[in-house]
Amino acid sequence: MPKFYQVISLALLMAVTQTSCSTTKEAAQQPTAASQTENTVKARPASRSGFKNYNEVITKDAVSDQGLFTIHRVGDKYYYEIPDSLLQRDFLWISRFASLPSGLGGGYVNAGSSVNEQMVVWQKFNDKIVLKTKSYNAVAADSLPISLSVQANNYQPTIYAFDIAALSRDSAGYVIDVTKFFSSDIKVISGLSADMRKNYKVSKLDESRSFINSVKSFPLNIEVKQDFTYDAAEPPSNSATGSISLMMNQSMVLLPKEPMQPRINDYRVGYFTIRQVDYGSEALKADEKSYIRRWKLVPKDIAAYERGELVEPVKPIVYYLDPATPDKLRPYIKAGVEQWQKAFETAGFKNAIIAKDPPSPEEDPDFSPEDVRYSVIRYVASTTRNAVGPSVSDPRSGEIIESDIIWYHNHLRSYRNRYLLETGAANPNARTLETPLEDLGEMMLEVITHEVGHALGLPHNMKASAAYPTDSLRSGAFTQQYGIAATIMDYARYNYIAQPGDQNIRFIRQLGPYDHYAINWGYRYLPDANSAEEEVPTLSKWITERTGDPIYQFGSGSGGYDPESQTEGIGANVVESSTYGLKNLKRVAPKLYEWTAAQTNDYDDLEELYGELVGVWSRYIGHVVTNVGGVHENRLKPEQTGYIFTPVAAKTQTASMDWLLNNAFSSPEWLHQTNISRNIHHASYVESIRNLQERHLNNLLSADRMARLMENEVNNVGYNALDMVRQLQRGIWSEVYSGAKIDIYRRNLQKAYLDRMNYLLNEEPARSNRNYGTPVEISQSDIRSIARGELVKLQRQLRSTQSRYNNDLSRYHIDDAIVRIENILNPKKA
């Protein structure tokens, strides 16, 4: 503790009784929020002049809630009674949206989304209690001299300073008024970021329309809900009100007095992490350390555990179901949680994770999903189609303290739709809007398993979907045993590879071998290791033993350059996989009316599913696009042989571009189902196809991708940026070489091609991807040289074929293209 905090007047030192720093057990023994009562105990007078007597502040009209801190409500004021023993203790403060307006943040945030997490401490300074942030991003052992410098050069800001209103009854704590703090627009705990305030032109918090909704104290946490309304000139919704209203939830959680021994992260296995900079390292620089986020599991019988027996943990991971969960879904949710038991058995633990029904009020009157002691699968009545698996972890060690899985009511609708579209060709159960409960339950089970995986510390592993050969996913025996991807943590939801006639196919994802491997790596207890560093040789050995086996590889899917690490894909060969998927879509499209509108006598489901069908086609295209200019990433350490980055083979890139020309950029007549298009919109089909094709065309002709293709020249790959543009241009303009009629889809696509070439040649500044993906300085690269040279060739070809076209639209289109190219090559300056 800094010296000035120890300078306290002699009178106060004599009055305040020092207590133990550990109050977790004592807090747990106190009455909880359910025992809110009027405070009728006569308070002792304060022992220091300047403070009011306790009973002057906490009057007989106070309603008190005992827990971590005792909370008092007196009229419209809220008071915290903070035990002296909890000063200087580490707390985690999480700010979340409890409710928010439609469209806030562009629609990318939901109720329950975390806005900010920070560690805080309560400290006494003179006649005030201050709330300060505390960071573990920079650390050094207290025994090292450099720790003094770390403290001095990482001084943390004060969030708020509270006047001490009174001493507690026994003078072993302090009473502060928190009303103004929770009623004010404190930026660090606000839901509105600086960008939101700017975009929505937020001027101020309207205090007349803002209030504290509730304050609850539990043994290990305090929960506050704030209902705030801001004046905003351009709100994201309800623009006529000129306001943004939202409800924030502020959680303050007491962290363990002694942090758990952390486990050092290895980027070859996927875990969420915390990061620290260790200034006490012997290295010639500050040592950046990364620890994985995981629950603390310790075997009850360590000797039996070491003998290889399955042992229960001292404290298992327990999830409670939300009381609002429909009865028919409860068995599937429980099974989704407890499916992880098998993976934990691989790590040596029995019954490590358990799902329970919520206790009745008679069984536990104090049970509350907001109590940090309880992790809950929350069932939210919302039209949002999503599920999330957030968790709260100790920033000092990575220990996961608590987790609430959030399931939104409408989420199964998305899964039903994709089940129909992606498996309907080969799966009779999927050919209906009334999906059997058994199938829906299996989908929900696997989604819960996926979200619980996040809450166990596992991020998405997009590499796992490429672990299995594509044709193996047409085998019933293989898919029933291994599923459709090596992990539940991939976005590999359905088996769209299986074809009509394939037998005993598993269509829905499941837990895979990588999940067992990752849980064992992150959770196996190593009793002989007395520090995180001592664990590293064993952990590294487990990884190197699996070198070269695709089942145990990890890839985040970030960057968009690795065709083996993509979202929503399955199978090792993306061209084969997308070919199978597209065959199935072409079978489903003509049946879509029969399976929807013909059954419901309504077009709403048909319109929704047709839009999603086009989106599925787009995904299959995108998977193949990644092969062009693609780079395989294989996470390795220097002790292992091979390269981390390997460009996709030239033959594969050429074949992928041929596939795209035939399946993405050809005219998609199969999508034009008259009984669909003429019943869902008066005129939108052609434009939707143009928009989709343009998106993939621009993706191919992105500076980011072309930079990687140019890099192929020095890597002797045999397929470079010029090869790609030539192949693409000749394919998109094939009619001008063959003399064939140019239909409306191709005319639109060819115009989009010219627009993109204009962008590459003339847009300024052309540095849009410097901060993302593969960096390139367009004006000093070959990109513009290639674009100009190929456009000159195209213009020459167009002029030579003008006279061939008697069809007016085709002729006009050719004439227009020639003029457009001339303007691109010789733009008029304003």
Provide mean pLDDT across the span 702-728.
94
**Of 671, 665, 532, 676, nearest to 595 (Cα)?**
676
Read off the tokens for 476. Answer: 């019933």
What pLDDT sits at residue 108?
66
Task: Examine the pLDDT at 2 and tell me if it is beyond 70.
Answer: no
What pLDDT sits at residue 14?
32
β partners of residue 133: 120
Structural Rg of the chain based on CA atoms = 31
Task: Examine the pLDDT at 107 and tell me if it is beyond 80.
Answer: no
Distance (Å, whole) CA 698 – CA 693: 9
Same domain, 670 and 578: no
Residue 290 domain flag: no
Of 254-258, 296-300, 401-405, 521-525, the least confident? 401-405
- Of 595, 627, 649, which residue is a domain's last? 595
Same domain, 590 and 662: no
Phi, then psi, of 127 in degrees rounded to 5? -100, 25
Distance (Å, whole) CA 210 – CA 213: 9
pLDDT in tens, 56-75: 999 999 999 999 999 999 99
Same domain, 642 and 737: yes
Same domain, 580 and 634: no
Same domain, 787 and 688: yes
pLDDT in tens, 597-609: 999 999 999 999 9
Read off the tokens for 10. Answer: 């002699």
Residue 296 domain flag: no
Same domain, 191 and 309: no
Determine contact, residues 490/462, Cβ cutoff 8 Å. Answer: yes
Same domain, 420 and 490: yes
Same domain, 430 and 484: yes
- 127-141, 287-301, 615-629, range with greatest mean pLDDT: 615-629
Provide mean pLDDT across the span 559-570.
93
Residue 788 domain flag: yes
Task: Examine the pLDDT at 169 and tell me if it is beyond 70.
Answer: yes
Same domain, 328 and 462: yes
Residue 278 domain flag: no
Q: Is 3 exposed, middle or buried (0-12, 13-18, 19+ CB in 10 A)?
A: exposed
Same domain, 568 and 634: no
Same domain, 667 and 784: yes
Q: Is 632 helix (H, G, I), strand (E, B) or coil?
A: strand
Provide mean pLDDT across the span 471-499.
96
CA distances (Å), origin 651, targets 590, 712, 718? 35, 13, 8
| Average predicted confidence (pLDDT) for the chain | 87
- Of 222, 254, 286, which residue is a domain's last? 254
Residue 560 domain flag: yes
What pLDDT sits at residue 34?
35
CA distances (Å), origin 628, targets 153, 445, 702, 771, 794? 48, 36, 11, 21, 22
- Number of domains, the chain: 3
What pLDDT sits at residue 9?
36
Range of the domain at 147: 3-254
**Of 12, 290, 325, 306, nearest to 171 (Cα)?**
12
What pLDDT sits at residue 300?
97
Provide mean pLDDT across the span 402-414.
80
Provide mean pLDDT across the span 25-48.
38
- Of 254, 272, 291, which residue is a domain's last? 254
Q: Which residue has the higher pLDDT, 323 or 9?
A: 323
Residue 293 domain flag: no
Same domain, 577 and 626: no
Task: Examine the pLDDT at 104 and tell me if it is beyond 90.
Answer: no
Distance (Å, whole) CA 405 – CA 340: 15
Residue 536 domain flag: yes
What pLDDT sits at residue 337?
96
Confidence of residue 33 (pLDDT cuts 50, 70, 90): very low
Residue 295 domain flag: no
Task: Examine the pLDDT at 83 and tell me if it is beyond 70.
Answer: yes
